[in-house]
Amino acid sequence: MRFFSFHLMPYPDLPPDYDGPAWITCPNELFDPRLGGELYNRYIDELVYAEELGFDGVCVNEHHQNAYGIMPSPNLIASILARLTSRVRIAVVGNALPLYDPPTRVAEEFAMIDCISGGRLIAGMVVGGGPEYYSFSLNPAHARERFAEAHDLILKVWTEPGPFEFTGKHYKLRYVNSWPRPIQQPHPEIWIPGVGSLETLEFVAKHHYAYMGIPYFHINVFERMFAMLREACQKEGYDADPLQLGWLVPIFVADTDAEARRRYEEHFWYFVRRLLPGINISPPGYTSVRSVENIMKNAGTFALNLDSWDQVVEGQYAIVGSPETVTELLSANIERLGVGNLLGLFQLGTLPALDTKQSLDLFATEVMPKLRASFPGAQRPEVPASAPATASS
Amino acid sequence: MTTLGRATLDSAVGPIEVHRGGGAGPATLVYLHSAQGEGPGMALLENLADTRQVVAPLFPGFGDSEGLVHIDDIEDAAFHVLDVLDRLDLAWCDLVGSSLGGWMAAELAVRWPERVRRMVLVNPVGLYVQGAPITEIFGRTPSELAQELFADPEYPLAQLMRAMDGMEADPSLVPFELVRPFLQSQAATAKVGWNPYLHDPKLLGRLGRVTAPTLIIHARQDGIVPREHAEAYESAIPDAKVADLEGAAHLAALERPDEVATLVLQHLGD
């Protein structure tokens, strides 16, 4: 079992009288740059702290023009983490490949992070969220084929000697020859996040990558999604390894169940009611009609439709409670979902720094050791021997 | 009213659905539909078919028409329409296009003006007019769109679109079979019209090549395309004029078939 601390880097200060979406058209005059600077530094500290606590890795991700996650360039944050940490895996989950033109940029920056970190990068690749196709005026009907072509190009950059010529439908490059190359050979571990698109599940299975289920759905949806991934792997002629499956979930630990809810609930609702609105826009052609039909079956359980804490608990949209409760719930779900990666969202919405730290501390001392004992299957990733000295080592 | 028959035509990009029928007339009338994908059972076409041979091909991605994978932009769309005319053995035709179909008609007429005898554009998109943007059609709720597309809120399609609004919370509200055509037609429209948004920056400068006398019908309650677009077409096409239609909105071809048929037949000289 591998444990990751995932940070969305949310903007916690939307004014109470703003009731519009947090995406695409959320006015950027609501962003206070001074507060933004404090937040970036605080959030980076929270990720660095995860290494001290014994996590296996940290995760960052990419979203544009929104208050939900103010991290349009996760590679900037990842490169800071590469320098400030010495042991944890750094998972960028991921770069939205179609937004990079040419996508050799992703191959270059990921290789830089891999070099700086001494081979600790996990390279996440993603189609990009629906809102990004509006924010970039990028044609969603070309999303899948651009993603596939960019992926092929990046893998070729990492695995074949340059210079070479690449002539695809969307990218035509006469001299591909990335300096640097990644330390990890043949290439860094690749993760693909998703919400259940059949195309994505089949793509992950075909390439033996790992699939990260994005939260905000009822736990039953994850069960179905991972079952579909296992089935897709079987169609490719193999059984999925638990390390190919990741479950991303908000977690909050306090001394008692009552205290946990009391300290957490309002921050969770800020996240659901203020930051999620707008995230679920699905531009035309972004997913196939058969996938839309499949995803729509789950739409009713999307977190935006939640209106009571009982529903949150019942559907396990967040795992909140005493160390005993959290251990019990996580154990049951790890077992049930068969995942080998737990991606915890410890800071969420408006959750302040002190609460985030106390929850992380309790998780690391009271929960994680028990889960490691219960699920010894996967080892902690080793740091490659070639790792250079870093600031904190 | 003359009922049209449904047929399949093999095009270069794949088999497409075609609705066809009617009388003789001086030229075959080809109808290019809007982003709504209208055609089957459409009153306007049945009306026109009383006096004309009418052919309404459904663009790839609409209805059962295949081949969208081979179409990436409006250039591909224009060549597809040309290919369809070739396969229908139409050396020339009268061309009527609504909205998206009006844009395609104009793109055809600037490239191969000899293939178009007379042309009618109903609330066409296709141009960029400074200060008069085309309303966003992507990412809107169906009920918002319905207000801009239809003059009569009780028009059946407008009612269906309003019912689709609650589907995010409760997908069982509308059977998926009724939603599927909307998803397909939006995806097909995005392919040619996402960016640049529903226009071709080069089209305006090419409109001087159109030789067909052209009527641009502008519906006064069109919530999608401002009248300035009809005026821009009128100024740039050598022989063109605008006709205003009261009490009609963007999908006038669907909602006001009799008035549109009268204007079309007048312009075609019947």
For residue A247, the tally of other CB atoms under 10 A from its CB is: 23
* Contact between chains at B194 and A293 (C-beta distance less than 8 A): no
| 8 A C-beta contact, residue A348 and residue A267 | yes
What pLDDT is stored for residue A295 in this prediction? 75
Residues forming a β-bridge with B216:
B121, B242
Cα–Cα distance, A86 to A120 (Å, whole number) = 9
Q: How far is CA A191 from the centre of its chain?
A: 9
Of B168, B171, B190, nearest to A139 by CB-CB distance is B190
Do the bridges between strand A57-60 and strand B5-11 make them parallel or antiparallel, or are there none, so unpaired? unpaired
**Which residue has 């969770």 as its token pair?**
A268
Domains of chain A in start order, with CATH, are 2-374 (3.20.20.30)
pLDDT range class, residue B270, cuts 50, 70, 90: low
pLDDT range class, residue B100, cuts 50, 70, 90: very high
Angle, vertex CA B253, rays to CA B250 and CA B256, nearest 5: 95
Strands (E), chain A: 2-6, 57-60, 89-96, 121-126, 164-167, 172-176, 189-194, 210-213, 245-253, 319-321, 341-345
- If you count them, how many residues does chain A have? 393
Distances, alpha carbon B94 to alpha carbons B90, B141, B181, B268, in Å: 10, 35, 28, 8
Query: Does residue A382 have a pLDDT over 60?
Result: no
Domain ranges of chain B: 5-268
* Contact between chains at A140 and B194 (C-beta distance less than 8 A): yes
Cα–Cα distance, B81 to B89 (Å, whole number) = 12
Averaged over A323-336, what is the pLDDT? 97
The pLDDT tens digits for A240-269 are 999 999 999 999 999 999 999 999 999 999
Q: Which two tokens stand for residue A180?
A: 């640097």
> What ipTM was assigned to the predicted interfaces of this complex?
0.90
Of B139, B170, B180, nearest to A300 by CB-CB distance is B170
Mean pLDDT score across all residues of chain B: 95
Averaged over A67-92, what is the pLDDT? 98
- Taking CB atoms and an 8 Å cutoff, what residues of chain B touch A299? 167-169, 171
* Contact between chains at B184 and A140 (C-beta distance less than 8 A): no
* Contact between chains at A285 and B138 (C-beta distance less than 8 A): no
What pLDDT is stored for residue B68 in this prediction? 95
Mutation target vs A (from B183, B184, B186, B189; most A CBs, 10 A cutoff): B183
The pLDDT tens digits for A132-167 are 999 999 999 999 999 999 999 999 999 999 999 999
B259 or B25: which carries more pLDDT confidence?
A: B259
pLDDT range class, residue B179, cuts 50, 70, 90: confident
Catalogue the long-range contacts made by B180-185 (C-beta closer than 8 Å, 24 or more residues apart). B180/A289, B180/A293, B181/B37, B181/B62, B181/B63, B182/B142, B183/A284, B183/A289, B183/A292, B184/A289, B184/B37, B184/B61, B184/B62, B185/B35, B185/B36, B185/B37, B185/B61, B185/B62
CATH class name, domain B5-268: alpha beta
Averaged over B15-41, what is the pLDDT? 93
| 8 A C-beta contact, residue B207 and residue B124 | no
If interface means Cβ-Cβ distance under 8 Å, which residues of chain A face chain B?
Answer: 24, 133-134, 137-142, 280-281, 283-285, 289, 292-293, 296-297, 299-300, 302, 304-305
Summarize chain B as % helix, strand, coil (round to 5).
Answer: 40, 20, 40
For chain A, state the CA radius of gyration: 20
What pLDDT is stored for residue A391 in this prediction? 44
Distance from CA of B149 to the nearest CA of A (A): 18
Q: Which two tokens stand for residue B64?
A: 């059962």
What pLDDT is stored for residue A378 in this prediction? 60
What pLDDT is stored for residue B175 in this prediction? 85
pLDDT range class, residue B199, cuts 50, 70, 90: very high
Of B169, B187, B197, nearest to A285 by CB-CB distance is B187
Please give the interface size between A and B, counted as residue pairs whose CB atoms are below 8 Å apart: 60
Do the bridges between strand B93-98 and strand B116-122 make them parallel or antiparallel, or are there none, so unpaired? parallel
pLDDT range class, residue A282, cuts 50, 70, 90: confident
Q: Which two tokens stand for residue B90?
A: 């139409």
Query: Does residue A388 have a pLDDT over 70?
Result: no
Cα–Cα distance, B244 to B104 (Å, whole number) = 21
